Amino acid sequence: MPGVDQIRTLLPFRNFPSTLTTLPHFHALFRTNLSSMVEVIEIDPSKRDDLTPSEADMLHIMNEALTSEVDPVAAPVSLANSLREYLSSQGSECLNIANTNLWYLWMILLEVVLNVPVDHPWHDILTATVDELRREGGTVAASNPKLKWEDLPFLRMYLFDKWAGELPAPILSRHSNIKEDPTELDDCTPEDLEAWKQFNSFASRLLSPDFTPWLILPYWEIAAGLETVVEDAAVFECKVWAATEWLIRCGSIIFRDMSSKEELDSETSLSMKPGPLCADIPPLSVQRWDFWHSRLVELIENESSSNAAAGGVPLPLSRLNQALAVMEKARLDVELEGQNLKDQDSSDSVDS
């Protein structure tokens, strides 16, 4: 993954701010009950004494929504409406309060996400809540008409700060004091690796064809997982998992970006630099996509023959095959669209 200096050089079309902001430490306490069929996660703010009033209020809103008996399909709408109403009322007369509460919202939400397993119902609810806030749109608070929910203000910056190691670690990783991608550190724990998967899954689920403010992130994660040799088996499994998550969730979006034939300047090319296994391939190109495809095929073949990755940590064949299928469909869709356009042009020429 690029360092902070390289992160600051991204092209404007990727909508990344020129400066990064370091936030105050946000402490979270989450307890799980692994004996139940569905993991019980406690986020009751009444048991906390380290939160600001706004932080406690928003954590309370999330706790009420996530622990209620509301239909999981309706829960994201209900939670989004509650958060929208709270931020609107609290920041209606003061710009600083509106801005600060937005930061608190993303801080709290991301801390919860980092402690919720990817296959837990809460992960879907929290992701859908953010998506609901964006799609419903509207002004965050009357004190600043420029803050629009459809932009998810400050979330992009917060995500990049997390990737760059600019922010304190989630409390789940407090014992190893991780402040960045744990797969890049020597002392990461299994819990750290799981939190990193959860973080990547959350960020990838929020991208859509009409919303791609952090589209640079899958290039970093896929480079780490598919373009780099990794010795540690557990870390390798985590990196491949993150790479396949981005491909499964955003494969179509990524392929359209890579096949756009857009000219990159030197700074952006550096920030998107491929890994050592394909260092000579252009960073934004179909050739790089083809390398990812071939790398997945290689991993599937190796896994099928050995039944386990190096060191005894298996790579899930189902995920590898799912990512491969998404890649092949993404390419086919674009090729079919191109052929349809050619056919339409030919038809128009005949008619004229």
Note the pLDDT tens digit of each residue in 195-213. Answer: 999 999 999 999 999 999 9
Domain boundaries in the chain? Answer: 17-210, 214-352
Bridge partners for 33 per DSSP:
40
The Cα–Cα gap between 335 and 312 comes to 40
Q: 246 vs 164, 219, 242, CA distance in Å?
A: 18, 9, 6
Q: Which residues contact 293 (CB under 8 A, 6 or more apart)?
A: 324, 327, 328
- Per-residue model confidence as pLDDT tens for the chain (352 residues): 555 444 433 433 333 332 223 333 333 333 333 333 456 677 777 777 778 889 899 999 999 999 888 788 899 999 999 999 999 998 777 778 888 999 999 999 998 998 889 999 999 999 999 999 999 999 999 888 899 999 999 999 999 888 876 544 443 333 233 346 888 888 888 999 999 999 999 999 999 999 999 999 999 999 999 999 999 999 999 999 999 999 999 999 999 999 998 888 898 899 999 999 999 999 999 999 999 999 999 999 998 776 544 445 788 899 999 999 999 999 999 999 988 887 776 665 665 5
pTM of the model: 0.83
Query: DSSP class of residue 146?
Result: E
CB 283 within 8 A of CB 260: no
Three-state secondary structure readout of 148-214: EHHHCCCHHHHHHHHHHCCCCCCHHHCCCCCCCCHHHCCCCCHHHHHHHHHHHHHHHHCCECCECCC
Residue 160 CA from chain centroid, whole number: 10
